[in-house]
Amino acid sequence: MAAVVVAATRLLRGSGAWGRSRLRFGPPACRQFSSGGAYPNIPLSSPLPGVPKPIFATVDGQEKFETRVTTLDNGLRVASQNKFGQFCTVGILINSGSRYEAKYLSGIAHFLEKLAFSSTARFDSKDEILLTLEKHGGICDCQTSRDTTMYAVSADSKGLDTVVGLLADVVLQPRLTDEEIEMTRMAVQFELEDLNMRPDPEPLLTEMIHEAAYKENTVGLHRFCPPENIAKINRDVLHSYLRTYYTPDRMVLAGVGVEHEHLVDCARKYLLGVRPAWGSTEAVNVDRSVAQYTGGIVKLERDMSSVSLGPTPIPELTHIMVGLESCSFLEEDFIPFAVLNMMMGGGGSFSAGGPGKGMFSRLYLNVLNRHHWMYNATSYHHSYEDTGLLCIHASADPRQVREMVEIITKEFILMGGAVDSVELERAKTQLMSMLMMNLESRPVIFEDVGRQVLATRSRKLPHELCALIRDVKPDDVKRVASGMLRGRPAVAALGDLADLPTYEHIQAALSSKDGRLPRTYRLFR
């Protein structure tokens, strides 16, 4: 250690032979550029001879690669978006989900999500599938929503042929053995128990608000399997559903980071003329019901005092979600509604600090900043191909439920009022920023490509969406909000609901000019 210190001291002071030579002979001679003995005297700013020219990703504000779509003879659409990089994300999206279960046992889509990437005609087990993907650095996932089922794989682009073959086998040739179905029953049962025990009420409230808004139809049907149906779902029930909805004309094979021609060749090889495990490729009795918005209320009385993540107890809260019908993502008003949702913003009171967390949104300025007892106020916008739902979720102490509901109804009424140009521009900028930031991720691009092509057979590129967002005017936001306020509300309530106003009072508040609840008088308190 001492030797190192002495050497460092000599260098700093310029002492020793090096220091004396510098004083005697002046500054040292210029060092020649060199990258080794093989290439002497070549500056670092010049390319080395014989080395291939590197290819770099370029950014010029526009996407260089258009989304290309090809429809095969059997009706299956193949969509791709090229992207710089070694890896790709490829998957199959299907027009299938809980909204199509009116004629079947509720919960089939939930079961299929858990059964995905299990044994198939070519692969004896899930482990064999994962080992095959591992050779290409791949991972797999399956997600179901109310209207879409998505099977996806991310892997090295060189393994595209293997990946598409595997996806085709997983979607069209699942074995659905008795052992796998029994394991899935246990997984579904566990997920339902976890849903009811978890401290975050948002998934359960989302389920309840859809049930209230679309009573017993389409997107109002249960997304999770009801407990009474767990034992009833078997291979025959699953095959009956798959026969109707897993048909080529309801599918899109989407890929990001792949060459379109190569993806089409793989689709023709593995997805054209293939006989599925359930025997038929022609759909029968397809449910084409259009969502019917009904409005209404769904209440779940529950003791929330024991909900805690650890030794620090979480305060007992009552959670309320109020929603109104908006529009589908196919309509022109979808963009103004998205801007309105961003303008409302909000979040939890304990995460209010720091830039970029929605501190200037209406639910922060008008609700969380003014009412210290409000624990949460967040806006959500759920949109589907034939309807939409704009909601506000709020949480507070059970003793202040009535006041909390009135604050929410007042915020809804204010949506139909004047829109400040500064807050509108801020909301539009935040929406564009969120859109572009999310689309930096390859899996998000994949989902965007797949969902848009599944719904519209084409894709709007990000710069087109940004142009539509920039065109939103204050009058557009006021117009869509005013139209929304003419509908019946949907209400979901969870927790201690002793002081919850009646549905009729909430509806009256949303029909008034100021959003106030009708006064109630009690003889005894």
Q: What is the pLDDT of residue 131?
A: 97
467-474 long-range CB contacts below 8 Å, 24 or more apart? 468/335, 469/335, 469/338, 469/339, 469/428, 469/431, 469/432, 469/435, 470/428, 470/432, 471/335, 472/335, 472/336, 472/339, 472/424, 472/428, 474/418, 474/419, 474/420, 474/421, 474/424
Closest CA to 291 of 97, 448, 150, 510: 97
Q: Which residue is it, tokens 């359960």?
A: 204
Where in the chain do CATH 3.30.830.10 domains reside? Answer: 68-271, 296-511
Task: Return averaged pLDDT per consecutive 10 residues of the chain, 525 residues in all.
Answer: 46 42 45 55 83 71 74 96 92 97 95 97 96 97 97 97 98 96 97 89 96 96 96 96 95 96 97 91 82 97 74 83 97 97 83 57 92 94 96 96 97 96 95 94 96 96 95 97 97 96 97 92 60
CATH 3.40.50.1480 is held by the domain 68-271: no
Closest CA to 408 of 268, 141, 209: 209
**Tokens, residue 319:** 């959670």
User: Hey, how many other C-beta atoms are within 10 angstroms of the C-beta on 204?
Assistant: 18
CB 179 within 8 A of CB 169: no
d(CA 264, CA 248): 14
CB 388 within 8 A of CB 382: yes
Q: What is the pLDDT of residue 481?
A: 97
Could you tell me which residues are beta bridge partners of residue 139?
Answer: 154
Q: What is the pLDDT of residue 19?
A: 42
**Helical spans, DSSP H, in 124-228:** 126-134, 160-172, 178-197, 202-213
8 three-state secondary structure: helix
Q: For residue 291, give Cα distances in angstroms to 217, 325, 388, 421.
A: 7, 11, 9, 35
User: Hey, how many other C-beta atoms are within 10 angstroms of the C-beta on 485?
Assistant: 16
Domain at 296-511, CATH homologous superfamily: Metalloenzyme, LuxS/M16 peptidase-like (3.30.830.10)
Closest CA to 398 of 494, 475, 476: 494
CB 473 within 8 A of CB 480: no
Q: What is the pLDDT of residue 200?
A: 87
DSSP letter (8 states) at residue 323: E
d(CA 473, CA 194): 44
Could you tell me which residues are beta bridge partners of residue 320?
Answer: 394, 493
Q: Measured in Å, how far apart are the chain's first and last C-alpha atoms? A: 81
CB 343 within 8 A of CB 424: yes
Closest CA to 103 of 284, 281, 226, 279: 284
d(CA 492, CA 500): 11
* This prediction's pTM: 0.85
Pairing type for strands 77-81 and 251-256 reads: parallel
Sheet holding 139-144, edge to edge: 68-71, 77-81, 251-256, 87-94, 149-156, 139-144
Closest CA to 484 of 274, 362, 336: 336
Q: For residue 417, give Cα distances in angstroms to 325, 479, 510.
A: 18, 9, 13
